[in-house]
Amino acid sequence: MSENNTPVEGQAIPFKAETQQLLNILIHSLYTEREIFLRELISNASDALARLAFVMLTEREVLDSEVPLQIRIHTDKEANLLVIEDTGLGMTRQELIDNLGTIARSGARAFVEASKNTDRSLGDIIGQFGVGFYSAFMVADSIKVVSRSYDPDAESAAWIATGEDTYRLEEGDREQRGTEVRITLKDDAKEFLDESRLRQVIKRHSDFIQYPILVGDSEEPVNRQTALWRLSPRETEEEAYNEFYKQLTLDFSDPLVHTHMVADAPAQMYAVLYVPEDPQRLVFSPRKEPGLKLYAKKVLIQEFCTDLLPQYLNFIQGVVDSEDLPLNVSRESIQSNRIMSLLERLVTGKALDMLESLGKETPEKYQTFWETYGTRIKEGVAVEQDSPDKLFPLLRFHTSNDLSGWVSLEDYIEQAGSEQKQIYYFLGDDPSAVRFSPHMDAFRKADIDVLLMTDTVDPFMLLQLKEFNEHSLVNIADADLPDTETSEPGEEDVEALDQAVVTDLVTKFKAILEEKVSDVRTTNRLSDSPARLVDPEGAPDQSVQRVYQMMDKKFELPKKVLELNPKHPIIKGMADLDQEDPRFNLLAEQVFENTLLVEGLHPDPVSMVGRIQELMIDVVKSGQNSNGD
Average pLDDT of the segment spanning 351-377: 97
Q: Which residue has the higher pLDDT, 194 or 576?
A: 194
Q: Which of 207-216, 272-281, 443-452, 477-486 has the lowest mean pLDDT?
A: 477-486
| Domain definitions of the chain by residue range | 13-215, 228-361, 367-475, 499-536+557-628
Q: What was the pLDDT predicted at 529?
A: 93
pLDDT at 142 over 60: yes
The proportion of the chain whose per-residue pLDDT surpasses 70, expressed as a percent, equals: 83
Please name which of 395, 400, 445, 448 lies closest in space to residue 421, comparing C-alpha atoms: 448
Q: Which of 22-26, 277-281, 535-539 has the lowest mean pLDDT?
A: 22-26
pLDDT at 82 over 90: yes
Average pLDDT of the segment spanning 494-505: 80
Contact 413, 423 (CB under 8 A): yes
- Residue 257 one-letter amino acid: V
Average pLDDT of the segment spanning 484-506: 64
Contact 93, 10 (CB under 8 A): no
User: Which long-range contacts link 193-201 to residues 24+ away (Cβ below 8 Å)?
Assistant: 193/75, 193/77, 193/80, 193/82, 195/75, 198/38, 198/73, 198/75, 198/222, 201/35, 201/38, 201/39
Question: CA–CA separation, 478 vs 169, rounded Å?
Answer: 83
Please name which of 462, 452, 465, 407 lies closest in space to residue 426, comparing C-alpha atoms: 452
Average pLDDT of the segment spanning 595-618: 88
Average pLDDT of the segment spanning 245-270: 90
Contact 208, 53 (CB under 8 A): no
Question: CA–CA separation, 308 vs 310, rounded Å?
Answer: 7
Please name which of 525, 560, 520 lies closest in space to residue 540, comparing C-alpha atoms: 560
Q: Is the dihedral of CA 190, 195, 201, 206 positive or negative?
A: positive
Q: What was the pLDDT predicted at 134?
A: 79
Q: Is the dihedral of CA 212, 215, 219, 220 positive or negative?
A: negative
DSSP-assigned letter for residue 99? I
Please name which of 455, 379, 367 lies closest in space to residue 408, comparing C-alpha atoms: 367
pLDDT at 159 over 50: yes
Question: CA–CA separation, 471 vs 413, rounded Å?
Answer: 8
Question: CA–CA separation, 421 vs 558, rounded Å?
Answer: 30
pLDDT digits (tens, 9 = 90+) for 12-47: 787 655 555 656 665 555 445 688 889 889 988 988
Question: CA–CA separation, 538 vs 213, rounded Å?
Answer: 71
DSSP-assigned letter for residue 91? -
Q: Which of 11-25, 56-70, 188-202 has the lowest mean pLDDT?
A: 11-25
Q: Residue 157 half-sphere exposure, CB side, CA atoms within 13 Å?
A: 21
- CATH number for the segment(s) 13-215: 3.30.565.10
Scored b (16 or more CB within 10 A) or e, 65-103 reads: eeeebbbbbbbeeeebebebbbbbbbbbbebbbebbbee
228-361: what CATH class?
Answer: alpha beta
pLDDT digits (tens, 9 = 90+) for 113-122: 545 554 544 4
User: Which residue blocks in 384-519 are alpha helix, DSSP H?
Assistant: 409-416, 441-446, 458-462, 499-513
pLDDT digits (tens, 9 = 90+) for 429-481: 888 888 889 999 999 989 999 999 999 999 999 999 999 999 999 999 888 76
At 186 the three-state DSSP class reads: coil
Q: Which residue has the higher pLDDT, 606 or 101?
A: 606
Calculate the average pLDDT of the chain.
84
pLDDT at 333 over 80: no
Q: What was the pLDDT predicted at 89?
A: 93
As to burial, measured by CB atoms within 10 angstroms (0-12 exposed, 13-18 middle, 19+ buried), residue 385 is exposed
Average pLDDT of the segment spanning 64-71: 95
Contact 22, 124 (CB under 8 A): no
Question: CA–CA separation, 149 vs 523, rounded Å?
Answer: 93
| Pairing mode, strands 402-407 and 422-427 | unpaired
pLDDT at 130 over 70: no
With vertex at residue 402, the alpha carbon angle to CA 400 and CA 403, rounded to the nearest 5 degrees, is 75
pTM over 0.85: no
499-536+557-628: what CATH class?
Answer: mainly alpha
With vertex at residue 69, the alpha carbon angle to CA 49 and CA 128, rounded to the nearest 5 degrees, is 25
At 269 the three-state DSSP class reads: strand
Band (pLDDT 50/70/90 cuts) for residue 622 is: confident
Q: What was the pLDDT predicted at 485?
A: 47
User: 367-475, what's its fold?
Assistant: Rossmann fold (3.40.50)
Q: What was the pLDDT predicted at 24?
A: 62
